[in-house]
């Protein structure tokens, strides 16, 4: 039954990618991105009450006022990183660990930060139980990045910031990409991709209007 629901979800993600191609510039996501989604059991990352909705293309609550993102958005943000082989990735906002699990299929190492202690503990235990050995879960203020592990070829933020945190831009490697929703919680938010060239100069572009929970901490 889960296999049928997963197949349908992947088909819906593919169809939505085609519908939003005029905004994102991507009529289809890379095979590696879709394979990462297919390999990640979303039902393991939602609460018991949401099990029946685990493979619907919609965000779901995970407690503490946080959500697990819509699978299409997970696929889009993952694809927008354009991760090179053997990349080191930083995720800000671990939540239940689903996005980090997807990224782990494409990166050498994933560092994910969660500011809510209970979520960080549960996320660490869940990823360890499921065998995601290349994901490290940190508890702290993700808007400050993770200087001890920088630089990162890819940085993803899964909560909306009022502005792009300078620390994350500083910790982005040359040639790397930062994908982040920007905007107030009660206003239209925009998904932004920031790229950094070999000289350290950055360029940003807006991809799509989105809605995320707010980033908390010093950058929120």
End-to-end CA distance of the chain: 40
Q: Comparing C-alpha atoms, which of 95, 127, 89 is closest to residue 111?
A: 89
Sign, CA dihedral 123-125-42-132, equals positive
Q: 31 φ, ψ to 5°?
A: -55, -35
Euclidean distance between CA atoms 80 and 179, whole angstroms: 7
Residue of 69, 96, 104, 204 marked catalytic:
69
Cα distances (Å, whole numbers) of residue 23 to 41, 70, 103, 194, 210: 29, 18, 23, 16, 12
Euclidean distance between CA atoms 82 and 163, whole angstroms: 23
Query: Is-catalytic flag, 209?
Result: no
Whether the bond into 177 is cis, omega within 30 of 0:
no
Residues identified as active-site: 69
């Amino acid at each position: 039954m889960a296999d049928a629901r997963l197949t349908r979800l992947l088909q819906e993600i593919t169809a939505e990618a085609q519908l939003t191609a005029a905004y994102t510039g991507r009529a289809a996501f890379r095979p590696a991105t879709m394979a990462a989604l297919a390999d990640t059991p979303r039902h393991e990352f939602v609460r018991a009450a949401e099990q029946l909705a685990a493979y619907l293309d919609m965000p779901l609550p995970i407690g503490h006022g946080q959500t697990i993102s819509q699978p299409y958005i997970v696929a889009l943000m993952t694809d927008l990183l354009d991760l090179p082989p053997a990349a080191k990735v930083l995720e800000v906002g671990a939540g239940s660990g689903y996005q980090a699990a997807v990224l782990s299929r494409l990166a050498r190492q994933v560092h994910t930060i969660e500011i809510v202690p209970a979520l960080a503990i549960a996320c660490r235990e869940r990823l360890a139980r499921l065998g995601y050995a290349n994901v490290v879960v940190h508890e702290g203020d993700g808007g400050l990045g993770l200087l001890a592990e920088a630089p990162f070829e890819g940085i993803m933020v899964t909560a909306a910031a009022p502005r792009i945190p300078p620390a994350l831009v500083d910790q982005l490697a040359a040639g790397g990409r930062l994908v982040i929703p920007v905007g107030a919680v009660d206003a239209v938010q925009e998904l932004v991709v920031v790229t950094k060239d070999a000289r350290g100069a950055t360029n940003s572009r807006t991809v799509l209007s989105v809605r995320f929970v707010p980033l908390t901490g010093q950058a929120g």
